[in-house]
Structure 1
Amino acid sequence: MIATKIGKKSGVPDNYTRLGEYIAAAQEKGEKLHQFWIRNCDAGTNIEDLDLALLEIEAVRRQKPDIADKTYHLVVSFRPGDQDKLTKDDLMAIEAEYAKALGYADHQHVAGTHINTDNFHMHIAFNKVHPETLKVITPHRDFNILAKVSREMEKKYGLAIDPGMTDGKKRDPNKLSPAARDYEAHTWQESFQRHILKYQEEIIEGLGKAKNWQEAHQVLAAYDISIKLRGNGMVLMSADGQAMKASQLDRSCSKNKLEKRFGVFKTLQRDRQRSSLKQVQSKRSYKARPLVWNRNSTALWKHYIRCKTHLSQHPSMMKRALKNWKMFLLAEAEQDPLTMILIIAHQDLLKIIQFKNEQKEIEFRKHQ
């Protein structure tokens, strides 16, 4: 189990009603609602009570007009096979444990589990405003709380062990993060993290020679990477918004160790930004590319890129198919039988990657 908080995006209004309706509808393509329930609302506990429950929740939230972020959105991803081990009562009990640990046991929230071809997962949307005291709760160091509950629930229900980023030596530092694995499973494109790990040694070597934050920024800019503060740590970010924890690159790149070397974090200075960006051309920057490449890929990938370049010229249904490489291949398969070869190749590769990750985790744990 991997429990991930979905943070509020900058500039996007906090819309609890929309999130609640999304959880109940399972709107992503190929996704369907599995189970759904509501907690701590007088309106009721079932999906047919949702409209009234959302009005009730919004009435509480409106009493805190000065608070911009009043929602805690949690996604719990399960491993293949876990779904068959869990009843609705089990899922509700797991949700209740997360709520209790985060301090939201008495807060209004909706929860639902979704099924698609890639993974089984649970959404929980907590109203951070207590319905009686109106106190706004924001958990401190919640990543530790989420990891602790996940490990406890895995043990209690006999689920597959999926160590989180807070599990220290129990985690292989070169293993893709859950976010990177999900990106590859949903898009069939190489993740930012997989790309960066190819250049891990030379990036670490370059950072090792840096004497201050500006030089560190320049080293990373040569790979089209930016480094930013997030929560209590640092993340490396791609131009398209993908992120990985800096410590996932190497332990020497954690926030504490980098600030010990360079002092308090400083952003890239604008007068040096242009010279840094010029260096990008001399290195391999991250670009979207298929996870699987064979002789059938080249022409299709070029066609996909051309279509994306002229996105405005396509009807809305085609625009959805152009959202990522996976959706494009699935749509194209109806017209081009050769596309099925690529689809099968991607599916087989993801199964192999999953098997290798599991074997690697087993071997890694044996040496702890």
Structure 2
Amino acid sequence: MIATKIGKKSGVPDNYTRLGEYIAAAEEKGEKLHQFWIRNCDAGTNIEDLDLALLEIEAVRRQKPDIADKTYHLVVSFRPGDQDKLTKDDLMAIEAEYAKALGYSDHQRVVGTHINTDNFHMHIAFNKVHPETLKVVTPHRDFKILAKVSRKMEKKYGLAIDPGMTDGKERDPKKLSSAARNYEAHTWQESFQRHVLKHREELLEGLGKAKNWQEAHKVLAGYDISLKLRGNGMVLIGPDGQAMKASQLDRSCSKKKLEERFGVFEAQQTKPRSKGEYLTRTKRHYKPRPLVRHRNTPALWRRYLSTRKVIPRHHSLTARVFRNWKIFLLMEAYQDPLAMVLTIAHKKFLLTTLGTNVSNIESLNKYLSNQYPVDQFPVKTQGR
């Protein structure tokens, strides 16, 4: 079984009544209503109670006029043969498990199972507005919740197993993109993406609590991150212009997912709200820094930064050399043992973590390996 959230389309009004009537009518060609029930409505639980139940649900939803998306539409698709294994009580129990996991146990909902020639499936239309507290519930990272419940229900009822995207081989959320790996291989400096992923859990926690675009911008700005539209998606941008797809932070941060939560994208407010009061303060700055840290790295880094200041920004070979930490170290390695050690350490780090071939001048590498074994010098790498 596969559980899929059907997101609200941008620019299309949220019409719960229309969705409820669609579930009850099974309007698609070849479809037929199989089972139907209503939860948490005083109007009743059966299809003959639908009209009153929809009025009741709409009355609750009208209490939150400022919320554009108040419906969570879930479709659970079953494999051929699963229908014969499930009674109505079983189907209602499965629906209740999804509701509990998503935080909708006490929420109003209309549920119907549809039959067509090759696909038995269940529609669940949750009212995201709690009927008593009026709190609007939007599950965070729900794709994992849905996959977990699906695997549990398959096992419990002996259904065909349908591995979801969270099962088996899943993308490593902390794996750098090729662009970030190339940046680090060519500069030996921490990329913006590494900075973002280093604070991934904090960012996701903050974004999970955000209620609108400006609150989301505020969370990101605290880590020197800007969120902007690019092409058909969204990107996170650092102060030096490096960028990464927002979805590389987490699937829940894609343009589609964020607009489902907050509506059409709104740019960050850059003007102060009032005199002397700005939108946010940066608590985790992104600054280019060496990938590998040694106890004497700061002295070399300061020398490198001071050299950059006095070299004019033009396209000469000298300017390019001294505006790149990697090349600066290679040049310094001929006369400074510490630079030699850091050169070996950076190469070892990149080969270990990125699988990147960063071989340089062969004679220099051979000389460094023979004269300055890296094991003699304790080196600390970023994030280790």
Q: Normalising by structure 1, what TM-score? A: 0.49
Instruction: Select the structure of larger CA radius of gyration.
Output: 2
- Counting helix residues as a fraction of each chain, which structure ranks higher? 1
TM-score, normalisation: structure 2: 0.47
